[in-house]
Amino acid sequence: MPMVTVQYPKGALTPDQKARLAEDMTHVLLVIEGGQDTPATRSNAWVRFQAIDPEDWYVGGANDGAYVSAAGKFLVELNVPEGSMDQLRKSEAHKAITAAFLKVTGTTTVEGAARSVWIQIFEWPEGLLATSGRTSSLLGIAKLAGIPSDHPLLSFPRAYFAAKDRLYDAHGFPEHTAGRSLVRVESV
């Protein structure tokens, strides 16, 4: 269940622009999850907008826009399950999110406009996300998204958690330590 939070200066986005960005960000999230575009997968693709008072947002020590490129100021936080994305997929997400902002702000052909969009990817450790009163796992989320357990998209998470489990085992970490794979990859 990846989530996006978009911070932007109050008044910088119209309701229509937010709606278009929400749809574009939802598409990015669905691609990240690798699932089908279904009501079930869409219900797990959350996009939030947080307007920041322009007086409270400084770039280069100034809040007058002197150091802001053409598209404006946007900080995008993409929260994903730990181990769900290798660096290539993260870079693809960066590119798609930036393209969506340039498109919605009409600055796709403006030199340097992409510097207006900063993206931070945060990975929450396995075992720290829950819904419906139950702890969620990456592989559980993949199952909910309709991804078969043998899908190639899961090869990186499998390798990641197998390596992490070997490291934890080698150093005597208890079986139910947060960050361990909640579902052992051999059993899925």
Mean pLDDT across the chain: 88
Cα–Cα distance measured from residue 165 to residue 159, given in angstroms and rounded to the nearest whole number? 10
Question: Residue 88: is its pLDDT beyond 80?
Answer: yes
Tell me what pLDDT residue 150 has. 85
Q: What is the pTM of this model?
A: 0.87
Query: Between the CA of residue 49 and those of 52, 74, 110, 151, what are the distances in Å?
Result: 10, 10, 24, 33
* Percentage of the chain lying above the pLDDT 90 cut: 51
Q: In Å, how far from its chain's centre is CA 174?
A: 29
Q: Give tens-digit pLDDT for 113-162.
A: 999 899 999 998 888 888 888 888 888 777 777 788 888 888 898 899 88
Query: Between the CA of residue 66 and those of 7, 57, 59, 72, 82, what are the distances in Å?
Result: 19, 12, 8, 11, 37
Cα–Cα distance measured from residue 183 to residue 137, given in angstroms and rounded to the nearest whole number? 7
Q: Give tens-digit pLDDT for 31-76.
A: 877 767 888 788 888 999 999 999 999 999 999 888 898 888 999 9
Mean pLDDT in residue range 170-175: 92
The three-state secondary structure class of 120 is strand
The three-state secondary structure class of 17 is helix
